[in-house]
Amino acid sequence: MVTRRGFLAGATGAGIMFCGCGMLDAARAAKPAGKPPALVMNGKRVKVIDTHAHCYFHDAIALMGDDAKKVLPPVRGVQEHFIPADDKTAVANRLAAMDAMGVDMEVLSINPFWYGKDRDTSDAICKIHNERFAELARAYPERFAAFASLSLQFPDLAVQQLEHAIKDLGLRGAAIGGSVGGVSFSDPRFHPVWAKAQELDATLFIHPQSTPELAKRFQGNGWLSNVIGNPLDTTIALEHLIFEGTLDRFPRLKILAAHGGGYLGSYAARSDRSCYVSPSNCDPAIVLKKKPSEYVRQIHVDAMVFTPEALNFLISQVGIGQVVVGTDHPIPWEQHPVDQVLATPMSNEHRAAILSGNARKLLNIKL
């Protein structure tokens, strides 16, 4: 493992210069709020893109009625989620926090809390989200982009929302949960949405919503519904897309999975044995075009796996071109994402890809 001290000792010789992020706290503190820190590799400026960052809007939450109190997570950073474009103080504070993390741009999203609502209410919530996202992106084009919110429980409406978000509002794709009320994304009812996303070259950001079926098992100390439940929810969602042939049906579908793709990358090879071990649990009518584990390299994942060792292993499973920065900001899971990548043994070319290049390509971002 490369230690921070060891990395710093060799950074200059390796062609890396930086100002901001956790390695140079004094320099970071001296940076004026609103100005991105500079990260230069081999003489080129690398603009860091965080693909996994969140926000909320009060008027959208208000439409949830009695369920509004269930929306906000019990975490540090809740109030920092609220960043309407016309609240200059809130936005300035957000930009300063991004600078402190070494992040140039955040791709904002909202974890779906409206899947249980009726069509009109859900549509109104998503309309607020998507228009506010567009306002932020227009006002701060080098600092914010966004994933649209969709009423996925009404697939025909979701198709309309996605097309409007991409073509008219300039959003980069859509954020979706891990299922819709327990219905897997491989269900044919969602095929029109995936077809539209593929047609639009729009990325689908899968952000889990725990695994409610296991709520009783998650009770107790440690917030296991999130720590275990969220990565598990993502893993289940991805495995269904693989095993039901959805990724074969939509081979150009662009998927970004939160939290390192859950547990899929660390245990994908087990999937290759499942139909051999238990043929009765596999549908002979579904013939995959490749081994289940090979679809992992068709999926993009964020790098929020917390240690250089874990990040290196993730890269070995999914490929260097599939990994992007993700922090869950303003929830303080990963506060020094640049440090994490710089401390992981790899070439500067690969570091730049994870920090910026892969996200720019995936989301069609020009910085």
The proportion of the chain whose per-residue pLDDT surpasses 70, expressed as a percent, equals: 90
Kindly report the number of other CB atoms within 10 A of residue 184's CB atom: 17
Q: Give the Cα separation of 52 and 258 in Å (integer).
A: 7
The proportion of the chain whose per-residue pLDDT surpasses 90, expressed as a percent, equals: 80
Q: Give the Cα separation of 232 and 210 in Å (integer).
A: 7
Q: Is the pTM of this model over 0.75?
A: yes
Q: What pLDDT band is residue 78 in, cutting at 50, 70 and 90? A: confident
**Does residue 168 carry a pLDDT above 80?**
yes
84-121 burial: b if 16+ Cβ within 10 Å, else e: bbeeeebbebbbebbbbbbbbbbbbbbbbbbbebeeee
**pLDDT in the model for residue 37:** 57
**Does residue 25 carry a pLDDT above 50?**
no
Length of the chain: 367
Average pLDDT over residues 333-362: 96
Q: What pLDDT band is residue 263 in, cutting at 50, 70 and 90? A: very high
Q: Give the Cα separation of 301 and 255 in Å (integer).
A: 8
Give me the residue spans of the domains in the chain. Answer: 50-340
**Does residue 321 carry a pLDDT above 80?**
yes
**pLDDT in the model for residue 11:** 53
Higher pLDDT, 300 or 334: 300
Q: What pLDDT band is residue 2 in, cutting at 50, 70 and 90? A: very low
Q: What pLDDT band is residue 344 in, cutting at 50, 70 and 90? A: very high
N- to C-terminal Cα separation, the chain: 32
**Does residue 5 carry a pLDDT above 50?**
no
84-115 pLDDT per residue, tens: 888 999 999 999 999 999 999 999 999 999 99
227-251 pLDDT per residue, tens: 999 999 999 999 999 999 999 999 9
Q: What pLDDT band is residue 211 in, cutting at 50, 70 and 90? A: confident
- Residue located via tokens 């874990």: 310
- Residue located via tokens 């970004």: 256
Average pLDDT over residues 306-321: 97
- Residue located via tokens 């904002």: 108
Q: What pLDDT band is residue 73 in, cutting at 50, 70 and 90? A: confident
Say which range, 37-51, 131-145, 151-165, has the weakest mean pLDDT: 37-51
Question: What is the residue-averaged pLDDT of the chain?
Answer: 90
The architecture (CATH level 2) of 50-340 comes to Alpha-Beta Barrel (3.20)
As to burial, measured by CB atoms within 10 angstroms (0-12 exposed, 13-18 middle, 19+ buried), residue 285 is exposed
